[in-house]
Structure 1
Amino acid sequence: MSNPQIISTGAEPLGSGTGASGDRSGARTGHSRLQAFWRGALLPVSILAVWQICGELGLISPLLFPAPLTIGAAFVKLAASGELHSNLQISMLRALGGFVLGGGLGLLFGLAVGLFRHTEKALDPSVQMLRMIPHLAVAPLFVLWFGIGETSKVLLIAKGAFFPLYINTFIGIRNVDNKLFDVARVLGFSRFKQLIRLVLPAALPSILLGVRLSLGVAWLGLVVVEIMGSTSGIGYLMSDARQFSKTPVVFVGIIIFAIVGKLTDSLVRWLERRLLQWRDSYQGK
């Protein structure tokens, strides 16, 4: 018997090419993310560098614009004492409570007004009038009605968080293609099934935009309620530091508000990418 000949094709095993391609793709993705990070960090890093140099040269007042390293030292001191953590925790709980209450009601009212025309005629004019009332105009009334405790603060934050989600939910529902409802009726979908399988997925991009805007307004409302009258929270920390001319602490509070606001917005944007993978939209060049 003759030994079987092994013919070498020079081809690699099937899985090896795929693995190498996947590694290259992952490396490219990581590299592009790193590039995007540095592009976004270029402007703030440059501003901080120029700011620090101007401070060291005495070109700006250390009382009005303390140098970044001075602000960093104040941040470390507040963090080490635990004062920053305790006040930040209180502020985040207030903002979260106001957003959940106001945003949740905004979503429910937006669904009701968007789905039913009679509800829109009954509720929307009143809601739009309330939307035009500024925070500072109703803040004294909230304090008078609910006292200076947590209730008035959370309700004032909820007032601001209500309207963006309400409006975007309403617009998202009304922008759903009417032909999809015709298809749903042909398929025999119930009203609830239409809402779950048709309306909410189609309106989801607009609803998530409303969530982003509501979170931003809730965070801004938090600043108002804590600076106006509070004995705890990041806003109180800033107000107390301002009275004693501790400008670095004021800047620490501003930076904390900016960072936490950016993180919450990035979280919602991440949810958008996860939930809206089916959407083929223009991403820019």
Structure 2
Amino acid sequence: MGSKPGPPIKRIPLLGVSPEESLDSPIDRRSDYYRQRAREGLPPGVVQQQQGQAQPLLTAPNALTFLRVLLVPVLVVLWFHPHQLAPLMAAITFIVAAITDWADGYLARRMKVTTAFGAFLDPVADKIMVSTVLVLLAVSPPEPLSHKDLAIPVVIMIGREITMSALREWAASSGGGAHKAVKVNSLGKWKTALQMVALSALLLLHKAHNVLGREEHVVEALHWAARASLFVLWAGAFLAVWSLSNYMANVWTYFRYPNGFASPQNSPRPMLSPRLGTPPARKKSM
């Protein structure tokens, strides 16, 4: 007899249930939203097209995503430019990119339009922008932080993104119930929020004395703000590890039983994540 399909993997709420647009939403990114809907059937927000009809590429959400990609080289040029206002402009560039990250997903749902290309480009643009800023800050952190202060959280966050990309690629190729194991949860949403706040603050504080001066009280305030921003970045790194551990707990059974001979509820070893609940007892076959 074949094994029954496993129970759906519940999302992990941080502050309880709330609407889709909140930080506690199970929807992390536009691409995840539409991939999840595609597995359940025709996505409600996708424009229906006849067979053979090409999807439009230059939609409003896609235009914002393209803009985010184009802002990456702009940010890098501003980072290394000798003008005293260049660091401030680099920080503003990143903040604009972070706003487009939210806006493209909002517009895609509001306008009820999305494309396969946009679903691919959205997470790629995010990872390129965030990874670029993490590397730049690790190379040249704001005073009084050192390279060592930023090295560990930067490695954690970039490593987490690489691992999650590999997990989602594996889930997509495995099919079946594997995609449920990497369903987004609210921890990833909070991780992204803390990460964006910390990186924006650290960019604003990078060479902030060019604008604010080097008076003693100003320097002291800037140093305090830099340490506080580093704390927020560490909080985001902690959530990155926490959320990744939940994903890994969810896929552990699938890694041990890649051929589908067992499902989460009847495997010899229960799921590792305590938030997913205890699997139901197996029924003995007669």
TM bucket (normalised to shorter chain) is under 0.3
Give the TM-score of the pair, scaled to structure 2.
0.28
RCO comparison, higher one (Cα < 8 Å, 6+): 2
- Normalized per residue, the structure richer in helix is 1
The structure with the larger Rg is 1
Normalising by structure 1, we get a TM-score of 0.28
